[in-house]
Structures are given as C-alpha cells and as structure tokens.
Amino acid sequence: MVADRHEHIFRNGSNTYYFSSRFFPPQVRRDVYALYGFVRVADNLVDDQLVEPDRFHEFRSLYTKAFISGGPSGDDIIDAFLELQKRKNFDPAWTDAFLDSMEHDLSESTCETLEEVLTYIYGSAEVIGLFMARIMDLNEASFPYAAMLGRAMQYINFIRDIAEDNGLGRRYLPLLDTPLASLRETEAKKNPEAFSVFIRREIVRYQEWQKEAEKGYSYIPRRYRIPIMTAADMYCWTANRIAKDPFIVFERQVKPPASRILRKGFAHTLGVALPCSI
C-alpha cells in the first residue's frame, strides 16, 4: 500500500520530521508523508554513497512526462505527489527548482559563495517550506517565512553533515573570510580555533534566519503550529549542541532522539513548552 511505503520512507529518512509530524491531524499527516516520500526518494538517488545519476534522470523524466500528460507515471511515489501537487495547488516551478537542486549534486560539489548556497537552498529546502504552507492552506503572506524556515533548517543540516558531505566530495558552506582551505577533519585539526570560530559564525547565521522565520508562526493555526515548532526546536537543539563543541560533527551526526522530539511535541500540545534558546 502506497501510504505504508510513504510512512516507511519517512520514518527511515528523518527522526525529527517523522516524529514531529505525528502531531499533525491525520489528513495533513498523510499529505506530509506523500510530499516527503517524493523528495526523499529523489534526494536518496543523489545523496547516497553510491550516487545513481541514471536512476535520478529516469525519476525526473517520469515526473515531467506525467505532469505534462496529466496521466499516471507508473511510479506510485511520483503519482501520489502529482495528486497532492494538483489538489494543493503547488506551483510546478517549485518542483522544478527542487529537482534542479538535486541534479546539482550530480555535477557540482562545492558552493564557494553565499549566493551559490542560497540558490541551492531555494530548491532543496525553501520550496519544501512553500509546499508545506500549501498543505496547511496558509495565507500567501506566510510564504516568505515558510521558505525562511526551510532555509534555516537546511543550513543546520549542512553543518551537521560536514563529515558525510566530505565523504561525497561536497561542501555547501562557503569558506570566504576564513583561513580554512577545506572542511576536512585534518584541515580543521590544523587550525582548531579557526574551525570553531567558523562553525559558530555559521550557526549565528542560522539563528538570524530562524528568528525571521518565527515571525510567520502567527499565520499557522495552533493544531499545525505544534509540529512545526517541535521540528524547529529540534534544529535549535542540534545547533546549540554543535556550537558547544564544533568538532562533534566529525564524531557523529547530531540528531535528537525520538523521546526528546515527542516530549517537546507533547509539551507544545499542553502549552508548557519553552522556546529553544537561540
């Protein structure tokens, strides 16, 4: 059953998003699963240790042909997304931007300027915020904040995943105004102070974007705001943990356990959760 496949993909792809999404009403949760299934499958084709460009191009081609024809693609993940896209009035340009950013990972490995990073983030994360705003039927005035929340979360992913991206030969954080030649562990250990200063500076950048995104919470009905705030708080927790010890990114991926996510979600439900301090 496609719904079961969506949930399996979601649960295996992201603890933070999966467990925070449990606080959505069932219909919204199903739509979130369908969205996540599509973006995670595409992302896996370009992000696993064994990158599969042919399969990614086939996936994109199936989506494009089905979108143009209005018929089924033959892939249940794509077809569920197409139904969601039509029903929730997603801008198809958002989907193209997402797929463009995924395709970027097949041919380019580094972002040298913040402008390059933001171009990539628009497709890889900001449009996900826009999709979510449509799923929740939010006023379009909320869209800039929804995109900003996606940007902030993605930036913490970049910081958290430095070691993994090194293994893939990728770097998403620009090294302008720093003496670091790379973000590899050997380089960081040669200049530990510079590395720590750099990571903490980039976390401050995330914090500024997160604070801007939070201005949009007022547009979100409370029953939807709880899972959004829960996920955002977990990214804040991750950022704070890395800021305390930047070199932890070479030891492990910093991710909150399911128990922490659920406790925060229930606290928000009861109205007793304190905002994550940033």
pLDDT tens digits for range 33-51: 999 999 999 988 887 656 6
* More confident: 78 or 4: 78
Q: Averaged over 146-172, what is the pLDDT? A: 95
In a domain, 86, yes or no: yes
* More confident: 1 or 160: 160
Tell me the H-state helices in 136-216.
143-160, 162-167, 185-190, 192-214
Q: Averaged over 10-23, what is the pLDDT? A: 84
Per-residue pLDDT for 12 more than 80? no
In a domain, 41, yes or no: yes
Lowest mean pLDDT among 79-93, 169-183, 185-199: 169-183
Nearest 5°: phi and psi at 150? -60, -40
pLDDT category of residue 278 using cuts at 50, 70 and 90? very low
Closest CA to 211 of 232, 227, 185: 232
User: Which tokens hold the place of 236?
Assistant: 């804040």
How far does the chain reach from its first CA to its final CA, in angstroms? 41
Report how far Cα 250 is from the mean position of its chain's Cα atoms.
20
What CATH number did the domain enclosing 237 receive?
Answer: 1.10.600.10
Distances in Å between the alpha carbon of 222 and those of 31, 40, 144, 260, 270? 18, 27, 19, 21, 11
Lowest mean pLDDT among 13-27, 170-184, 245-259: 13-27
CB-count burial class (<10 Å; 0-12, 13-18, 19+) for 185? middle
In a domain, 115, yes or no: yes
Distance CA 273, CA 51 (A): 41
Find tokens 């090194």 and name the residue. 166
Q: What is the pLDDT of residue 229?
A: 95
Q: What is the pLDDT of residue 277?
A: 54
Give me the amino acid identity at 1: M
Q: What is the pLDDT of residue 96?
A: 97
Q: Averaged over 125-138, what is the pLDDT? A: 98
In a domain, 276, yes or no: no
Give residues with Cβ within 8 angstroms of 195, minimum separation 6: 180, 183, 187, 188, 189, 246, 247
Q: What is the pLDDT of residue 3?
A: 65
In a domain, 237, yes or no: yes
**Tens-digit pLDDT profile for residues 143-157:** 999 999 999 999 999
In a domain, 277, yes or no: no
CB-count burial class (<10 Å; 0-12, 13-18, 19+) for 108? exposed
In a domain, 72, yes or no: yes
Distance CA 7, CA 239 (A): 27
Give the Cβ contact number of residue 114 at 10 Å: 13
Q: What is the pLDDT of residue 106?
A: 86
Distance CA 7, CA 164 (A): 25
Q: Which long-range contacts (CB under 8 A, 24 or more apart) does 175-183 make?
A: 175/112, 176/112, 176/113, 176/114
The mean pLDDT of the chain is 92
Which structural domain, as residue segments, surrounds residue 135?
2-270
Q: What is the pLDDT of residue 275?
A: 66
In a domain, 278, yes or no: no
**Tens-digit pLDDT profile for residues 210-238:** 999 999 999 999 999 999 999 999 999 99
Q: Averaged over 164-169, what is the pLDDT? A: 90
CA atoms within 13 A on the CB side of 57: 5
User: Which tokens hold the place of 182?
Assistant: 């790379």
Lowest mean pLDDT among 107-111, 167-171, 204-208: 107-111
Q: Averaged over 196-201, what is the pLDDT? A: 98
- Which helix (H) or strand (E) segment holds residue 245: the answer is none
